[in-house]
Structure 1
Amino acid sequence: MTTQDLHSSLLDSLTFASARTQAEALAAGRVSAVDLLEHALARISQFDNDLNAVVVRNDEGARAAAREADAALARGERGPLLGVPITVKESFDVAGFVTTSGNPDHANNVAEQDSLAVAALRAAGAVIVGKSNVPLALADLQSYNAIYGVSNNPWDATRTPGGSSGGSAAALAAGYVALELGTDIGGSIRIPAHFNGVYGHKPTAGLVAMRGTGVPSGRLADRDLSVAGPLARTASDLELALDLLVNLEPLAAKAWKATLPPARHVQLKDFRVLVIDEWPGSARSLHEALVVERVVERLRTQGAKVSRPSELPSGLLPDLTASHRVYRSLLGSSLASPPALSKAAQKRLEALAADDDSADAAWLRAPTLRHSDWLQDNERRVALRHRWERLFETFDVVVTPVAPLPAFRHDHSEPKDARTYPVEFEDGTREVPFFDLFHWAGLPVLPGLPATSFPVGLDDNGLPVSAQAVGPYLEDRTTIAFAQLLEEVYGGFIAPPGFSAGPATGASRP
């Protein structure tokens, strides 16, 4: 084998490697940052006409950053991500790049400086390759918009990679980069991670600074409920990135510093796990059953203590239905300038009974919610966080599905809130409304709890499936460690067919 062949083989071996492994190879001098970047750019050029995951690029800027990383490595400098190529969600400001959040009204919005989160990853040595696709206004479970077009799932290009961090998850699964940066308010990290078979972490609310995300630029106040967090192909990379992303808010840093507690356990057999796979008032889908039963089998094999809601004392588990109503209320009122309701939604709003206390009613009323009503919902949110804290005296993590279905086929019909999706149940396939796909994703958002989405293999159709681990407030390391321990025993990320590390012909379309 020639020296060139050996070098090519090394780059191929790093294609689906973790960011940690890539950083170690760079630090050891086994590969240069320039070569690793060129390998990433070549894969994007090879596959992204089909996937359309990375939609904003500055190759020459990335090459300059890679050369600087190589010079730093040659001087003996080291950093957690020194020379490692990454991409970030389009809604994050990156100096010199456009930030639009998929909205044509902001097509000329060039960022003057990095967002706080991007700056932290760059300071750790990361080479910013580009930005990944999103839905319009980050408000969909699919990633498409009038500026950048449609992103496809590397497991099946007829299906969505999810949203709103859909391009992020697709870029990871396709082997472009090893680390991504996303945001999550309704599963926007965890659902794309699930649809693509990668890992995603929604941090505890307020832990990661959001300044420099979204449009219009220059906002100082964070959007309520929204968080920023990492996506990766390994659980350990989630923790690596999280450590870099905390304590970034300049004003708070003058006096306050978050020191996250260590993971509660270092062995699966010591975990006390509450498993929930059926939303109150809804039948369990076949997908939900598959995901949870697979996790339960693995946990019991490893000696973990697994419990179900039916075994709990009355009142220990918070009321999920009531919580979801509050979530929908605060979610719908979280925008300073909310979009107008569709004509169909406006009619439903006008027809609501005064005593309708459903989640759908809360969503319809949310854009015009009185501040006094918002304060009451906020009080319920804080009380709910304390309810979960009591539950976590008995359990270490709560495991649920991420969604009631795997990646679904593209559906761009309007209005969005009228869309339905085929979900399989024991008695057949039913069309499930758009907003009923968010029960599991919303569960940890309202109380601000950490949640880690982790892959658990493939379903009978060859699509990735994942579960999520929800943990106690500020105990992010516990959910990530739980996912990592399962990964160590049972494996995690699987590369999609057609995206091998060597020469390939294009995206897989099963």
Structure 2
Amino acid sequence: MRGALATAAAIRSGETTALAECDAAIARIEAGDGAINAVVVRDFERAREQARAVDARVAAGDTSGVLLGVPMTVKESFDVAGLVSCWGFAEHADHVPSEDAVAVQRLKAAGAVILGKTNVPVALADIQTNNPVYGRTRNPHNLDRVPGGSSGGAAAALAAGFVPIEIGSDIGGSIRTPAAFCGMWGHKPTYNALLSFGHNFPRTEGCGVALNVIGPIARDADDLEALFEVMGGDALSRPAPREPRDWRILLLPEHPLAPAQAAIKAAIEATGTAFASAGARVDHDGDLLPDLIGQHMNYIRMLLTAMARGGAPEGGTPMTLPDWFALIDEQAKCRRDWGRLFGSYDAVIAPVWGTTAYPHDDTPLGERLLQLDGIMAPAGAQLAYPGLATFPMLPATSVRIGTDAQGLPIGVQVIADYNRDWTAIAIARAAHDLMRS
């Protein structure tokens, strides 16, 4: 399967057609998705109509569009006119929006052909992907393992080779963790860098939820960058290209509240060694790091309140408005603390999650245990890793840098300063290239 940019170029040159690429993607899904269950809302006939329209436009001499004729899917939680958007809730399985999300509008304007939608956990609230409406999604690298969540169907569709690009959302690692578990590229943008209109809880109108962002997921870095630009990332300042020797890197192999597998810590250390060998400045456990324990406590409070839409989190009481504003003050202070760190460093490299893809486990996340190098550790504590970037609203790119002893991808996140999304992506590219070589 070609990448997205290569597919668009081939259609533009007349080497292939949008309809041929659409039919090929549909054939891949129909042949391979039975075991994986990634593409759960299928819109193949309308996709063929979109592809024919692209071909007619090309025949008339119009070959514009970065994603000209590229077949792709989108996360189920994005509104697509005429398709169900239920977020895995059985009670919302009849909810069919009448308008496309802004992100979907931008994809179509760039020439993309939308084949359907990919699976999510209920309420987008888990690190695995299973719900009573669509069932369970499995990791293409090992069907007994989770693909991550909540953009698990998206990452699985990419890893299975069904489509070259996808879009997801991230409030607790929901882009970064599936990308890491499935060995794909994923970018969590700076908060509010991309418009999230049309990515709303079913039957509500609100968007811009605290902490939540939308972003691109792709099979390769070039496609990730192109997709990010189409989604609105072109509005962010893009720095001049730099060599690995120019970067200042801080390694954070383990969070004080969440253990990480030895294989992940070793991969981060090896990445640091590769950067240092290329001439970069590489440090460990810098004194400039914020209070990570305090940050995590505040992150979890804000996350639970946002996920409960201001109601009482399970077993708790609703947050008062004064307490909410105090929490926003803590968030602003945390962002300033990270800003001071980024006066000395270009990026922090840390785990996305403390394990590689783990076996399917329907125990509630708050009660779930993970086997981690021979010990059982609470799964919920691992949210400390995605929270590193989420609470201070920073950009972070998930990138594969290795493989564990079970053949599962090892992914890490490259965290950069506020609005320095292109720096995060550039350093993630450098990390991937250095480790591959």
Using the size of structure 1 for normalisation, the TM-score is 0.82
- Which residue is 2:327 aligned to? 377
Inter-CA distance 223–319: structure 2 relative to 1 (3 Å threshold): same
Q: What's the counterpart of residue 55 of structure 1? A: 40
- Give the one of 35, 48, 51 matched to 1:66: 51
- 1:288·1:403 contact (CA, 8 Å) conserved in 2? no
Provide the aligned C-alpha RMSD in A. Answer: 1.8
**CA 1:284–1:48 in structure 2 vs 1: closer, same or farther (change >3 Å)?**
closer
Q: Which residue of 2 aligns with 1:451?
A: 396
The reply on whether 1:439 has 2:393 as its aligned counterpart is no
Which of 457, 464, 482 is the matching residue for 2:409? 464
2:69 is the counterpart of 1:119: no
For these two proteins, the number of residue pairs brought into alignment is: 436
Distance in 2 of aligned mates of 1:94 and 1:284: 38
- Write the letter of the residue equivalent to 1:334: A
Corresponding residue number in structure 1 for 2:293: 321
Deviation for aligned residue 1:106: 0.7
Q: Residue by residue, what CA displacement relative to the aligned partner does 1:118-157 show, whole Å, maximum 9, x if unpaired?
A: 1111110000011000000100011010000000000000
Kept in 2: contact 1:143–1:151 (CA 8 A):
yes
- Aligned pair partner of 1:95 in 72, 78, 81: 81
Work out which of the residue numbers 415, 419, 424 in structure 2 matches 1:474. 419
Aligned-partner residue type, residue 329 of structure 1: R
2: CA distance, partners of 1:110 / 1:283: 42
1:380-429 alpha-carbon deviations (Å, 9 max, x no partner): 1011111111111110011101111000000113x4421111111xxxx1
Partner of 1:297: 273
Residue 422, structure 1, aligned to residue 379, structure 2: no
| Letter of the structure 1 residue corresponding to residue 6 of structure 2 | T
SS in 2 for 1:212: coil
Q: What's the offset of the Cα at 1:341?
A: 5.6
Offset at 1:485?
A: 2.8
For residues 284 and 48 of structure 1, the distance between their equivalents in structure 2, rounded to whole angstroms, comes to 32
Change (3 A) 1:179 1:491: farther
Over residues 435-480 of structure 1, what are the superposed CA-to-partner deviations in whole Å (9 max), with x where a residue is unaligned?
A: 1111111110011000000011211110011111000100101111
Structure 2: which amino acid aligns with 1:418?
E
| Cα distance in 1 for residues equivalent to 2:434 and 2:379 | 35
Letter in 1 for 2:408: L
**Structure 1, residues 36-85: CA drift from partner, whole Å, max 9, x if none?**
11111111011100000000011110000011111112222211001000
Check conservation: 2:239, 2:422, Cα contact below 8 A.
Answer: yes
Structure 1: gaps spanning 5 or more residues = 1-14, 248-257, 347-364, 493-510
2:359 to 409, 415, 421: 409
Aligned partners of 2:155, 2:394: CA distance in 1, in Å? Answer: 22
Q: TM-score, normalised by structure 2?
A: 0.96
Conserved 8 A contact 1:274-1:395: yes
Is the CA contact 1:202–1:229 (under 8 Å) kept in the aligned structure 2? yes
Q: Kindly indicate whether the alpha-carbon contact (under 8 Å) linking 1:101 and 1:214 is maintained by their aligned counterparts in 2.
A: no
Distance (whole Å) between structure 2 residues aligned to residue 444 and residue 330 of structure 1: 14
Quick check: 1:390 aligned with 2:390? no
Change (3 A) 1:98 1:283: closer
Cα distance in structure 1, aligned partners of 2:307 and 2:259: 32
Q: Cα gap change, 1:283/1:216 in structure 2, threshold over 3 Å: closer, same or farther? A: closer
User: Are residue 280 (structure 1) and residue 256 (structure 2) matched?
Assistant: yes
The 2-side partners of 1:391 and 1:265 are apart by: 22
The answer to whether the 8 Å contact 1:269/1:302 transfers is yes
Instruction: After TM superposition, give the deviation of residue 264 of structure 1 in Å.
Output: 6.0
| Structural mapping, 1:484-503, within 5 Å | 484-491=429-436
Identity %: 40
- Pick one of 190, 193, 210 that aligns with 1:224: 210
Distance 1:220 1:157 in 2: 36
Q: Deviations over 1:176-221 (max 9, x none)?
A: 1111000000000000000000000000000111111132234134
Deviation at 1:490, TM superposition (A): 4.4
Given that 1:291 and 1:401 are in contact with CA atoms closer than 8 Å, whether structure 2 keeps it comes out as no
- Cα shift readout 1:209-264 (whole Å, capped 9, x = no counterpart): 111113223413421100000000112222211211128xxxxxxxxxx8312236
Q: Which amino acid in the other structure matches residue 374 of structure 1? A: W
Please name the residue that 1:86 is paired with.
Answer: 72
Q: Deviations over 1:340-365 (max 9, x none)?
A: 766xxx3xxxxxxxxxxxxxxxxxx5
Shift of 1:491: 4.2
1:336 CA displacement: 5.4
Larger Rg: 1
